[in-house]
Structure 1
Amino acid sequence: MSISIDRSIAAEAATLRAHYAQTVLPIWRGPGFNSALQLPYEAVGADDHAPLPAARYRAMACARQLFIFSHAGDAAHAEQLFHAMRRYFHDEKHGGWIYSVDAQGAPLDTTKDLYTHAFVIFACAHYAMATGDRDALRVIAETALLVQARFAAPDSLLHAALDADFSAVRTGPLQNPLMHLTEAYLAAYETTGEPSYETTLAQLAGSVARSFVHAPTGAIAELPIGSADNRLEPGHQFEWFYLIKRAGPAIAESGLERELSRAFDFAQRNGVDRATGGVYAALDEQGAVKDATQRIWAQTEYLRALATRARDEDLEALALQIPRFQARFLHARGWYECLTPAGDVARADMPSTTPYHLATAYASLTN
């Protein structure tokens, strides 16, 4: 890579981080935070940052905010979020974490959702790493044990959702919660050093490889292979690519690293709009665009994947992609959550869950 490209990426990444620190984070310390409940609102308006009327608060959204403030070094705000997450969402009767509470903080949706549990582990791992909080370490261990015991499905997979007391399956295995559980176990291992997380990662990677890899492309499908109306999301191929590279030896025997190298090329070739650099939401199994919406999280995963693969051609693409992303998706008051290929705003509000994607992508860019 040339020195000029290196300097260009570093300067562009610094601009992204400045926007995040000066524009994005203050929203969620201020108007995006319900100080009475000590929970983040689900979303705020893009123009005035006024919170949208609160119909619910989700555990996953609270956990993502716990991550971003732990990652940002704001221990005081992270501590509020950690205690609020435990107070509102932990199920003292059945164990685990409920999906949501209502506008007054009373239980609303008591489904036991794997995606939620993955983010509790992930966020607590980062909070514990930042603060040394021993209660957070206990939450990680207890939640990980519960996930393996209660969500277990055939072939070392895990169900996506169960009812409140874990007695009935609501949704079978899905790609997305399994991906975020992979991310969570990586964070738990890095925080605790417990070798059991490496063992669990290896089992999880093997089961994903057997059940979700689309053989012609190497892509990881959203539904188990053979399911009707399946789809391949370019953003998830980029996200998995980063996670598998980071996991390294823990997942080597699964073959996922080899498959995701093919999936990266498939997603880049078919899922990135050549005119704008925008990443499409979904492709079909032949590579045709199934959903042309361009969501900001998929753009951030493309940036992170380019920085992770880091071949000369990737870094050249990254140097072009960062300013395209900045011009297309960021603005002085925040960001655009979803755009059409033509650049029209398809979703006008700014969700509290999106800063997680910004933070993880920006952290991977060259310093």
Structure 2
Amino acid sequence: MIMVNEIKQELVNGIIPFWKGFRDDEYGGYYGYMDFDLNVDRKYEKSCILNSRILWFFSSAYKVLGDESLLDEAKHAYEFLLKYCLDKKDGGTFWSVTYDGAPLDTTKHTYNQAFTIYGLSSYYDASGDEDALKLALSLYELIEKKMRDEDGYLEAFDREFKPVSNEKLSENGTEATRSMNTLLHVMEGYTELYRVSGDNRVRKSLYEVLDIVSKKIYNPQLHRQECFFDKKYNSLVDLYSYGHDIEAAWLINRTTDILCDTELSEKIGKITDDLVSEVYKVAFDGRSIPVEAENGIVKEDRVWWVQAEAINGFLDAYERHPEKKEYLNAAKAVWDYIKEVIIDKREGSEWYWYVDAEGVPAKEPIVEPWKCPYHNGRMCLEVITRNVT
């Protein structure tokens, strides 16, 4: 119980108050930037991904903790999303808006639509607001009609849904037509939508996603997922993303659990077991997990979200295989590492973006469009609800 109690305290006394403090009551939503020296830029752009993830976080935290103030925060994020993040002319969610809500980056990215679905679905679950569910289903229909082809999901589009370059979700010198990361979070958003709606169209799409994962994304020879692809699913770079593999393992398991298909769970479970086993074997150093390896060369930075997802992945694997105590011990060890190295002890801060192999924090922002309570907040909620000792 020690780890569970400590993580609940981190959520209640650390993460939640920090993000409540980012609420913008003048222009709506949440402030988009805090630098390493803890200066908040109240006129920084507001990422719609940041806002939808905050919507998900406060909605989900309310469901777990029952604190009405959390539902109020979720409603604040929801109202900002409705008023500013949604394109009322052409449909879909913008990439970002200005601090006062004007469209800024009008790119329509599949990844971004998926996170809007994720946030709206959780908000519906927390609030019972039927309009939120209707909007989530309409965005699902938009993705299926405008952001995929017969072989799966595409990436980036302009405001009117014409394909554009995918630099936002391409890394390591690639220009990906398809990516593991986008597919993973389409699955995540659809899973939450199916959980709260029971819509059979969404269920069918989840089967299609899992088929792509098993046949195109998962590499059984290397015991990992490939990351970036051309249109025909040819891998573009030799990249092993430890963080995405440990995250994908438990998210895929969650999807099959919610589909309640025993045969599918057994089939996909062999893949997720392999992903966790390999990360444990090749990446876990007894305390933490580095971010990735490209062309066999390990990038040793310890990124905040990778450590959070390692706890989720190891705990999920332990619950499914309680004889594998090493996974429970790994989760506990990563939590000890987070407490010691990743959590920023300065007053008014939260978690460092990343530290180097020696534990020295990089002078990266504490908050920016990708740095939000989605990963670490979710880890806390997962640990509390799993209640693994």
Please indicate, yes or no, whether the TM-score normalized by the shorter chain is above 0.5: yes
1:247 corresponds in structure 2 to 255
- Could you tell me how far apart the structure 2 residues matched to 1:226 and 1:344 are? 37
1:69 corresponds in structure 2 to 58
2:7 corresponds in structure 1 to 16
Alpha-carbon distance change, 289 to 347 in structure 1, aligned in 2, over 3 angstroms: farther
Question: How far is 1:254 from its partner?
Answer: 10
2:154 corresponds in structure 1 to 159
Query: Which residue of 8, 31, 37 maps to 1:41?
Result: 31
Q: Is the 8 A contact 2:276 2:314 kept in 1?
A: no
Question: How far is 1:279 from its partner?
Answer: 1.4
Question: How far is 1:226 from its partner?
Answer: 3.5
Alpha-carbon distance change, 93 to 186 in structure 1, aligned in 2, over 3 angstroms: same
Question: How far is 1:101 from its partner?
Answer: 1.0
Q: Is the 8 A contact 1:297 1:354 kept in 2?
A: no
> What secondary structure is seen at the aligned counterpart in 2 of 1:69?
helix
> What secondary structure is seen at the aligned counterpart in 2 of 1:283?
strand
Q: Is the 8 A contact 2:94 2:105 kept in 1?
A: yes
1:27 corresponds in structure 2 to 18
Question: How far is 1:169 from its partner?
Answer: 4.2
2:83 corresponds in structure 1 to 87
Instruction: Give the length in aligned residue pairs.
Output: 351
> What secondary structure is seen at the aligned counterpart in 2 of 1:170?
coil
- Could you tell me how far apart the structure 2 residues matched to 1:254 and 1:222 are? 24
Question: 94-103 or 244-253, which moves further after superposition?
Answer: 244-253
Alpha-carbon distance change, 246 to 228 in structure 1, aligned in 2, over 3 angstroms: closer
2:92 corresponds in structure 1 to 96
- Could you tell me how far apart the structure 1 residues matched to 2:36 and 2:293 are? 29
TM-score by length of 1: 0.89
> Aligned ranges for residues 141-152 of structure 1 at < 5 Å?
141-152=137-148
Alpha-carbon distance change, 254 to 142 in structure 1, aligned in 2, over 3 angstroms: farther
- Could you tell me how far apart the structure 2 residues matched to 1:362 and 1:307 are? 12
2:275 corresponds in structure 1 to 263
Q: Please tell me the residue identity of whatever aligns with 2:338.
A: F
> What secondary structure is seen at the aligned counterpart in 1 of 2:104?
strand
> Aligned ranges for residues 136-285 of structure 1 at < 5 Å?
136-155=132-151, 157-171=152-166, 172-224=177-229, 226-248=234-256, 250=259, 252=264, 255-274=267-286, 277-284=287-294
Q: Please tell me the residue identity of whatever aligns with 1:267.
A: V
> Aligned ranges for residues 286-301 of structure 1 at < 5 Å?
288-301=296-309
Alpha-carbon distance change, 293 to 138 in structure 1, aligned in 2, over 3 angstroms: same
Q: Please tell me the residue identity of whatever aligns with 1:20.
A: L
- Could you tell me how far apart the structure 2 residues matched to 1:359 and 1:318 are? 16
Q: Please tell me the residue identity of whatever aligns with 1:317.
A: A
Q: Please tell me the residue identity of whatever aligns with 2:114.
A: A
- Could you tell me how far apart the structure 2 residues matched to 1:135 and 1:239 are? 30
> What secondary structure is seen at the aligned counterpart in 2 of 1:179?
helix
Q: Is the 8 A contact 1:100 1:107 kept in 2?
A: yes
User: In the TM superposition, what whole-angstrom CA distance separates every residue of 1:202-253 from its partner, at most 9, and x where no partner exists?
Assistant: 1011123222222312311211354332412111111111012112264828
Question: How far is 1:189 from its partner?
Answer: 1.2
Question: How far is 1:100 from its partner?
Answer: 0.7
> What secondary structure is seen at the aligned counterpart in 1 of 2:111?
helix
Asked if 1:111 corresponds to 2:107, the answer is yes
Asked if 1:345 corresponds to 2:383, the answer is no
- Could you tell me how far apart the structure 2 residues matched to 1:176 and 1:198 are? 20
Q: Please tell me the residue identity of whatever aligns with 2:106.
A: T
Question: How far is 1:36 from its partner?
Answer: 1.3
Asked if 1:336 corresponds to 2:352, the answer is yes
Structure 2: which 5+ runs fail to align? 63-69, 167-176, 319-323
Q: Please tell me the residue identity of whatever aligns with 2:280.
A: Q
Asked if 1:354 corresponds to 2:372, the answer is yes
Q: Is the 8 A contact 1:278 1:341 kept in 2?
A: no
**Sequence identity (%):** 21
Question: How far is 1:47 from its partner?
Answer: 5.6
Question: 89-98 or 240-249, which moves further after superposition?
Answer: 240-249
- Could you tell me how far apart the structure 2 residues matched to 1:168 and 1:348 are? 32
Q: Is the 8 A contact 2:273 2:317 kept in 1?
A: no
Q: Please tell me the residue identity of whatever aligns with 1:258.
A: K
> What secondary structure is seen at the aligned counterpart in 1 of 2:57?
helix
- Could you tell me how far apart the structure 1 residues matched to 2:203 and 2:154 are? 20
Structure 1: which 5+ runs fail to align? 1-9
Q: Is the 8 A contact 1:206 1:253 kept in 2?
A: no
User: In the TM superposition, what whole-angstrom CA distance separates every residue of 1:232-290 from its partner, at most 9, and x where no partner exists?
Assistant: 2111111111012112264828954322322222222222234xx221111236xx344
Question: 321-330 or 113-122, which moves further after superposition?
Answer: 321-330
- Could you tell me how far apart the structure 2 residues matched to 1:104 and 1:345 are? 32
Question: 355-364 or 125-134, which moves further after superposition?
Answer: 355-364
> What secondary structure is seen at the aligned counterpart in 1 of 2:107?
strand
Q: Is the 8 A contact 1:97 1:116 kept in 2?
A: yes
- Could you tell me how far apart the structure 2 residues matched to 1:299 and 1:85 are? 29
Q: Please tell me the residue identity of whatever aligns with 1:16.
A: I
Alpha carbon RMSD of aligned pairs, Å? 2.1
User: In the TM superposition, what whole-angstrom CA distance separates every residue of 1:48-81 from its partner, at most 9, and x where no partner exists?
Assistant: 4x31364311111000111111122211121111
Q: Is the 8 A contact 1:234 1:279 kept in 2?
A: yes
